[in-house]
Amino acid sequence: VRTAESPGWRSRNRNHKGPWGPVNGIVIHHTAGRDSLRLCIEGTADLPGPLCHTHLSKAGVATLVGYGRANHAGTFAANAHNAVVAEAAIHPRPDAAEPIDGNRHYYGIEIENLGNGTDPYPEAQYDQAVRWAAAICRLHGWTAHSVIGHKEGTRRKIDPTFDMAVFRARVAERLKHPADWSPGSAATPTKPATEPPKEEGDMPSAKDIAAAVWEHPIENQFRKDSAGKPRRIAAQDFMEYGDKHHDDIVARLDRLTAAIERLTAALIKE
Ligand SMILES: [Zn+2]
């Protein structure tokens, strides 16, 4: 999962307002709007943040927003919740009665989408949502039937605007493979097909060496997997990821600088 961290996410929660856990499943949401990260963190006067555990941008960056109780699920129907607990293959239409505290029992992701039924979920974004859900299932030893759409937990909601059976099938497919598996990666040609075949004993070309260096997996000591081993990532992906983060930091710094300037101006006026 291509993650980013919002500062303070590890302790951003609503645990002071109610219980958190035991966790039983995962709820998929759409944001019904754009530029929704700040809203997910802060919430509104009526619905204080965090509004999810993870926010997934249109570009497919999963930003960690909070950990613990979050205002994302509200109340759930017991029949829908029981199906998740049992990891039943059938997810029944939720009852009208909603006795379950969903915020206590579920992780939630907000996928950036207008939610109007025509705004597409680009594969780069959808795939990240699948990976995110599969990662949590893998951690807890759950099957894909622990993943439901918000619309499957309550009649009040319509999100997400995609077929949850298809989404669960994608999660189930991932869970059959190791965590670093990418669908179709083995079949994707990494070199132009026009390159002539090399004879045995030929020296590799400079181009071959350069390509091999960029594709070579490096160990990231700062990101460990569940077994505590450093995660391996292709040098090229690592560079791109670092570049994206750099842009994010510069943008954040710009906002901070502008805020300090406004503050200074206000103080001088005083
Ligand atoms: Zn929702």
- Which DSSP state fits 43? B
Distance 173 CA to ligand 1 centre (A): 24
Bridge partners of 75, per DSSP, are: 101
What is the Å distance from ligand 1's center to 72 Cα? 6
How do residues 64-113 score in pLDDT, each as one tens digit?
A: 999 999 999 999 999 999 999 999 999 999 999 999 999 999 999 999 99
- Give the model confidence (pLDDT) of 11-25 as tens digits: 999 999 999 999 999
Do the beta carbons of residue 49 and residue 171 sit within 8 Å? no
CA distances (Å), origin 259, targets 22, 232, 265, 269? 41, 38, 10, 16
> How much distance in Å is there from the Cα of 230 to the middle of ligand 1?
34
* Residue 144 to residue 147: CA distance in whole angstroms: 6
- Residue 261 Cα to ligand 1 midpoint, Å, equals 38
Cis peptide bond prior to 160, omega within 30° of 0: yes
- Rounded to the nearest whole angstrom, what is the distance from the C-alpha of residue 28 to the centroid of ligand 1? 7
Residue 130's identity, in one-letter code, is: V
Q: CA of 257: how far to CAs of 22, 127, 252, 266, in Å?
A: 42, 35, 9, 14
CA–CA dist 80, 90 (Å, integer): 10
Q: Which residues surround ligand 1, an ion (CB under 5 A)?
A: 29, 150, 159
C-alpha 88 – ligand 1 centre gap (Å): 22
In the reported structure, the alpha carbon of residue 257 is separated from the centroid of ligand 1 by a whole-number distance in angstroms of 34
- Check if the beta carbon of residue 154 is closer than 8 Å to that of residue 74: yes
Q: What average pLDDT does the structure give for the chain?
A: 90
- Is pLDDT above 50 for 190? no
Among 69-78, 173-182, 208-217, 244-253, the range scoring the smallest mean pLDDT is 208-217
Q: How far apart are CA 11 and CA 131, in angstroms?
A: 23
Q: How many CB atoms neighbour CB 34 within 10 A?
A: 11
Run of H or E including 27: strand 25-30
pTM: predicted TM-score of the whole model, two decimal places: 0.69
How remote is the CA of residue 255 from the centroid of ligand 1, in Å? 29
